[in-house]
């Protein structure tokens, strides 16, 4: 894990603000195999922390350092505010801290779908949908390092969104129904099917073509997951590249966000089909 100067400066500030003794600060960094000699009084604890962070930047030790710093037992004054500041800084470096209570994780962000994932996360938090939040975390953990897992998580995220909307609409669905069927049901209830477009609507034919392709996205994301995703068994999946995962995540994220926003817009105006 490698981060920029701004993030390193912020991390050094956080450590300095803990008011750790010189001896304890040295011991903290020595757990990452820096082997710094003990001193009763460092000339500048902040400078020492910054130099040590420089040494472990670009190594797995930096990830462990950040996880240790954000652990609930670490003496950070305002943990929530510090976490928010660090996540803002880490976002520019392509990372995010996931606070799971007693477990802290630092995950790479899938940049091509980041905007969509962040927006979907907001919706998931608003409706307290823990399963959907879990799927988003799976995508972020997979990142570019595990395209097969990322594709599987993207498909599962889209399925979670479809089921969440159907439940909100009190529309029954079978436990064994496939993703394309679920998305088709959602589109029908939200009036997102070609037949619902009036002939008088401006650009009616173009709108119909776009809407008809919504189901196609779900179909192909499901097929990708079955062929190459986290549950696929094909040896060909070894040839997958991060760009394939970004394509699947981008497509699934675009559709998921569109469905969520359409559902919430119609629910707010009382316009969902009954």
Which range has the worst mean pLDDT, 69-73, 152-156, 178-182?
Answer: 152-156
**Two tokens at 101?**
């209570």
Radius of gyration of the chain (CA): 23
State whether residue 240 is helix, strand or coil: coil
| pLDDT for position 264 | 87
| pLDDT for position 235 | 41
Domain ranges (residues) in the chain = 5-108, 114-269
**What distances in angstroms separate CA 70 from CA 52, 106, 138, 154, one per listed residue?**
17, 10, 20, 28
In whole angstroms, what is the distance from residue 214 CA to residue 207 CA?
Answer: 11
pLDDT per residue as tens digits for the range 4-49 = 999 999 999 999 999 999 999 999 999 999 999 999 899 999 999 9
> Is the Cβ–Cβ distance between 110 and 144 less than 8 Å?
yes
pLDDT per residue as tens digits for the range 71-110 = 999 998 888 899 999 988 888 788 889 888 778 989 876 5
What's the predicted TM-score (pTM) here?
0.56
What CATH code would you report for 114-269?
A: 1.20.120
User: What DSSP element (H or E) covers 267?
Assistant: helix 242-269
Q: What percent of the chain has pLDDT over 70?
A: 81
The answer on pLDDT for 60 being more than 60 is yes
- Mean pLDDT confidence for 55-79: 93
């Amino acid at each position: 894990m490698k981060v920029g100067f701004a993030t390193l400066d912020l991390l050094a500030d956080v450590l300095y603000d803990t008011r750790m003794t010189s001896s304890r600060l040295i011991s903290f960094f020595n757990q990452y195999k820096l082997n710094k000699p003990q001193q009763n009084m460092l000339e500048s604890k902040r400078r020492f922390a910054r130099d040590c962070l420089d040494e472990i930047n670009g190594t797995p030790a930096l990830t462990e350092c950040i996880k240790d710093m954000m652990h609930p037992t670490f003496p950070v004054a305002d943990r929530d505010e510090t976490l928010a500041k660090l996540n803002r800084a880490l976002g520019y470096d392509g990372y995010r801290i996931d606070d799971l209570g007693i477990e802290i994780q630092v995950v790479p962000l899938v940049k091509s779908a980041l905007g969509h994932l962040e927006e979907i996360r907001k919706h998931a938090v608003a409706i307290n949908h823990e399963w959907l939040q879990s799927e988003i975390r799976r995508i972020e953990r997979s990142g570019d390092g595990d395209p097969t897992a990322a594709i599987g998580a993207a498909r599962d995220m889209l399925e979670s969104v479809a089921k969440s909307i159907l439940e909100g609409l009190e529309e029954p669905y079978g436990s064994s129904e496939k993703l394309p069927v679920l998305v088709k049901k959602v589109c029908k209830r939200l009036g997102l099917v070609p037949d619902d477009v009036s002939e008088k609507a401006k650009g009616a034919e173009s709108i119909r073509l776009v809407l008809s392709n919504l189901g196609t996205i779900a179909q192909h994301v499901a097929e990708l997951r079955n062929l190459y995703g986290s549950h696929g068994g094909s040896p060909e999946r070894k040839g997958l590249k991060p760009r394939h995962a970004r394509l699947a995540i981008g497509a699934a994220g675009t559709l998921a966000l569109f469905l969520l926003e359409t559902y919430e817009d119609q629910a707010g105006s009382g316009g969902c089909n009954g």
